[in-house]
């Protein structure tokens, strides 16, 4: 019986970090997947584009539909606010979570961070024009959920009463 060999696949693309550390770089967007130890000419197919598109949609939805992201965007919808004002108005959010969520929203182009050259430094946050177009859709979704909440509760009760 022939001996089985386990083949591990890795991307051969190098980044600044992986070039110095000799660590293979792995990502879904790279088309240079090949088994460890293979020659450069023996390219293997990349991950499927369909899986990549699905992950992108799911990631995008997760960014916008995040509990804290929607709350922060709702607070910034009508006015600019400082970090401390946001923290006071949003019940239950930690300083770290607020900071991480604001950075994520700024990176995605949903929040604009303005630093004023004062002593002490003053930083204000506001929604971008792109984010203001999302708010009416979020409000519509919330209104629909509120409207159908009795139906959802009835379905939950019926489900919980079913024998298991």
Task: With a cut of 50, say whether residue 74 has pLDDT above it.
Answer: yes
C-alpha 42/C-alpha 106 separation (Å) is 41
105-133 pLDDT tens trace: 999 899 999 999 989 889 999 999 988 88
- The pTM assigned to this predicted structure is 0.58
pLDDT on residue 151: 94
Please give the distance of CA 101 from its chain centroid, rounded to a whole number.
Answer: 10
22-32 pLDDT tens trace: 444 444 444 44
Query: If you search the block for the tokens 């506001």, which residue do you land on?
Result: 126
C-alpha 132/C-alpha 111 separation (Å) is 10
Length of the chain: 164
């Amino acid at each position: 019986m022939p001996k089985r060999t386990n083949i591990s696949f890795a991307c051969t693309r190098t980044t600044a970090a992986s070039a110095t550390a000799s660590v293979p770089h792995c990502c879904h967007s790279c088309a240079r997947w090949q088994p460890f130890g293979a020659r450069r000419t023996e390219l293997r197919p990349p991950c499927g584009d369909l899986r990549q598109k699905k992950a992108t949609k799911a990631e995008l939805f997760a960014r916008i539909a995040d509990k804290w992201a929607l709350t922060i965007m709702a607070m910034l919808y009508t006015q600019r606010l400082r970090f401390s004002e946001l923290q006071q108005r949003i019940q239950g959010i930690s300083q770290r979570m607020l900071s991480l969520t604001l950075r994520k929203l700024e990176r995605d182009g949903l929040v604009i961070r303005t630093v004023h050259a004062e002593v002490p430094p003053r930083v204000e946050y506001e929604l971008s024009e792109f984010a203001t177009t999302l708010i009416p859709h979020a409000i519509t979704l919330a209104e629909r959920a509120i409207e159908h909440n009795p139906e959802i509760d009835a379905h939950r009760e019926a489900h919980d009463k079913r024998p298991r």
